[in-house]
Structure 1
Amino acid sequence: MAEHKHGLTSDYIDILGVETHIVKYGNIKAANSTQEKRCLFLIIPGNPGIPEYYQQFMHTLWERSGERFPVWCVGHAGHVTGPGHPPLGWTDILRHPGDRYSLEGQICHKINFIEDNIPPDVKLVLIGHSIGCYMILNILPHISQYHILRCFMLFPTIEQMAKTPNGRIFTPALNYFRWILVGMVKMMSYLGPKLHRRLVGAHFSVAAVPECAVQASLNLFNPTCVNHCTFMAKIEMADVGELQEDLLKRYMDRMSFYYGAADKWCPKEYCYNMKARFPRADIRLCDSDFSHAFVLDAGREMAHVVWDWLQGHL
């Protein structure tokens, strides 16, 4: 059942047989609307793909548009479980989660969501974060019937993930110890929601983290969610390798890239390489010290950057 609060709608829908969390600010106007244009901002999140992390960012974008353009975020398959979902059993920890939770499966999941829920005459502004940028790049060839106004690629992990500073640490950890992490989360899941919230609060105690991020983080005490997040992350390390130059050349005129100045998932050297390969591309290097996980400490600020950047394309 959908939850409505201050313009926010939070709901779970079936996408390719997976219950999927969708967060929305605003709805698409009717086809006979008097609005000057039907436009939608669609966010493809990073990993973990939990839409609640993006609520502050989304709300700010929606406000900046004068509440004219809806802002939606579609969660990744299996990264949030709906009410009443059975918990992951101990024997399930060692099982293969299934291809629909892989990186390729998540791309198909997003294509299906777009085709089933967004009319083709609606103009799209796609906003990718981290691995969401890789997904957008691979979604675009399959949604040619849509008018893509712009793709904003924020802190894009679209090449050589395993060779990044974080990738060198996480690749062996995910290959050899992923199931141990899921097992630890399974044990912690018995602690109960009150203690979970205290632990999240303690973790974020020194940072001004928005309430939506605290709520989103509570999902990480669910072993089913962590199983799917880490499974996808393991595949990311293996699959995100050489830059997909053919796709970039094909769609570069619709893309804007935003790189972090000290991003251990996407070093600024990757930004410089992109500028060298695509000298006419719209590529920026952050000068505001935003972190890769900007939703934790700079959601509003990042939304202002995106909105101001977009004005020349609306």
Structure 2
Amino acid sequence: MPLPSFLEPLDSLHHDNAEYRHATHKISLGTVHSLWWPTRSGNVPDTVILFKPGNPGLVEFYVPFLSVIREKYHSNNLAILAHSHLGHSFALPYSHCGLSSQVQGGIEAVDALHWMLDFSAGKILKARPENIANLHLITPTIRHIADTPNGRSLSWLFHPLPRIVASKLTSIFGTYIPAFLLKVLFWDWPAHQITVLQRLLNSPESVLACLEMSHDEMQSVKEADFEFIASHDNRIRIYFAGKDGWVGKHKEVIMSELKTSSPRTAVAVGPDVPHAFCINHSQQVALRCLQWLADLS
């Protein structure tokens, strides 16, 4: 099956044996790097998953996760669109885009698909509720991100001067970090994820875009919108990490409130799953998402 008409092939990144294709999606604010998994049947899909990543917004980190979902989904007519964040891809020019721009990018992806995500995903569902059948929030931060363990320890880095310095240091030293050193530092990471990390470190513009978005998140992710979740509780599924430095003490508050105000919202906790589940826990999380997807059929 060819790419959808709104995607342009990015063949410079294509691998001959890959089940997905690299592509670009031109939206009103810039160009977004995307990955497209066609249906296994080769037919027009009857279900499309739109995947929006966290931060860093690099969809390549999630190839193993999304590949498991496509492989094990009960129908051969599922397609998947993984949609990066503006400015985060090392394959495209830098874009100065904040959190609201990333939300707009997701909305335009939904509009382009004509079928059927954390803070931004909820905004997309709110804008296009008629086009989205189900929303899975995986290890999300939806309440007071600045008051989480990681938020308190790292928020200084996201201010203008530190993030500019960090991106400049990346431009100086990033290309000199050998792959073997990354393999030593991140000894438990698969080779694919090491490659994605190395490409990120070789792109100071992408590093800057990630830090800029982090600053916006610190300012924007405050109180969770429990009223909104309650109004769509039959369509929202949430998967929390067992221990998450980007959630911290707020997980218990969120789960308690959801139990009362949104009884139809399915909530799962992966005891040994970290926030960055895409590194080594793709299959475990994918199997849970597949169970939720099966409930829709």
TM-score with structure 1 setting the length = 0.81
Q: Report whether the alignment pairs 1:204 with 2:186.
A: yes
Counterpart of 1:9, as a letter, is R
Deviations 1:163-212 (Å, cap 9, x if unpaired)?
Answer: 11111112223225222211211112342xxx44233322221x1x2333
- Inter-partner Cα distance in structure 1 for 2:212 and 2:80: 28
Structure 2 portions without partners, runs of 5+? 1-9
Matched residues, number: 280
1:68 alignment partner in structure 2: 77
- Inter-partner Cα distance in structure 1 for 2:39 and 2:206: 28
Q: For residues 283 and 219 of structure 1, do their structure 2 counterparts lie closer, same or farther at Cα, with a shift above 3 Å needed? A: same
Q: Quick check: 1:14–1:20 contact (8 Å CA) kept in 2?
A: yes
Q: Which residues of 2 match residues 176-195 of structure 1 at below 5 A?
A: 177-191=162-176, 195=177
Residue 230 of structure 1: how far off its partner (Å): 0.2
Q: Which residues of 2 match residues 68-107 of structure 1 at below 5 A?
A: 68-82=77-91, 85=93, 98=96, 101-107=97-103
Q: Quick check: 1:56–1:210 contact (8 Å CA) kept in 2?
A: no
Q: 1:296 is paired with a residue of what secondary structure?
A: coil
Q: For residues 260 and 14 of structure 1, do their structure 2 counterparts lie closer, same or farther at Cα, with a shift above 3 Å needed? A: same
Q: Report whether the alignment pairs 1:168 with 2:180.
A: no
Q: Report whether the alignment pairs 1:246 with 2:245.
A: no
Residue 310 of structure 1: how far off its partner (Å): 2.1
Q: Report whether the alignment pairs 1:53 with 2:33.
A: no
1:93 alignment partner in structure 2: none
- Inter-partner Cα distance in structure 1 for 2:262 and 2:232: 15
- Inter-partner Cα distance in structure 2 for 1:158 and 1:287: 17
Q: Report whether the alignment pairs 1:219 with 2:219.
A: no
- Inter-partner Cα distance in structure 1 for 2:289 and 2:151: 27
Residue 18 of structure 1: how far off its partner (Å): 2.2
Q: 2:105 aligns with which of 83, 104, 109?
A: 109
Q: Quick check: 2:144–2:222 contact (8 Å CA) kept in 1?
A: yes
Q: 2:236 aligns with which of 255, 259, 283?
A: 255
Q: For residues 70 and 244 of structure 1, do their structure 2 counterparts lie closer, same or farther at Cα, with a shift above 3 Å needed? A: same
- Inter-partner Cα distance in structure 1 for 2:286 and 2:272: 15
TM-score with structure 2 setting the length = 0.85
Residue 218 of structure 1: how far off its partner (Å): 2.0
Q: Quick check: 1:42–1:71 contact (8 Å CA) kept in 2?
A: yes
Q: Quick check: 2:36–2:81 contact (8 Å CA) kept in 1?
A: yes
Q: 2:136 is paired with a residue of what secondary structure?
A: strand
Q: 1:76 is paired with a residue of what secondary structure?
A: coil
Q: Which residues of 2 match residues 271-290 of structure 1 at below 5 A?
A: 271-278=254-261, 280-290=263-273
Q: Quick check: 1:55–1:212 contact (8 Å CA) kept in 2?
A: no
Q: Quick check: 1:150–1:255 contact (8 Å CA) kept in 2?
A: yes
Q: Quick check: 1:58–1:72 contact (8 Å CA) kept in 2?
A: no
Q: For residues 187 and 308 of structure 1, do their structure 2 counterparts lie closer, same or farther at Cα, with a shift above 3 Å needed? A: same
- Inter-partner Cα distance in structure 1 for 2:26 and 2:191: 27
- Inter-partner Cα distance in structure 2 for 1:197 and 1:19: 29
Q: Report whether the alignment pairs 1:26 with 2:38.
A: yes
Counterpart of 1:278, as a letter, is S
Q: What is the Cα-based RMSD across aligned positions, in Å?
A: 2.4
Identity, in percent, stands at 20
Residue 80 of structure 1: how far off its partner (Å): 0.4
2:126 alignment partner in structure 1: 141
Q: For residues 71 and 270 of structure 1, do their structure 2 counterparts lie closer, same or farther at Cα, with a shift above 3 Å needed? A: farther
Counterpart of 1:245, as a letter, is F
Structure 1 portions without partners, runs of 5+? 89-96
1:235 alignment partner in structure 2: 216
Q: 1:311 aligns with which of 274, 280, 294?
A: 294
1:92 alignment partner in structure 2: none
- Inter-partner Cα distance in structure 2 for 1:169 and 1:241: 17
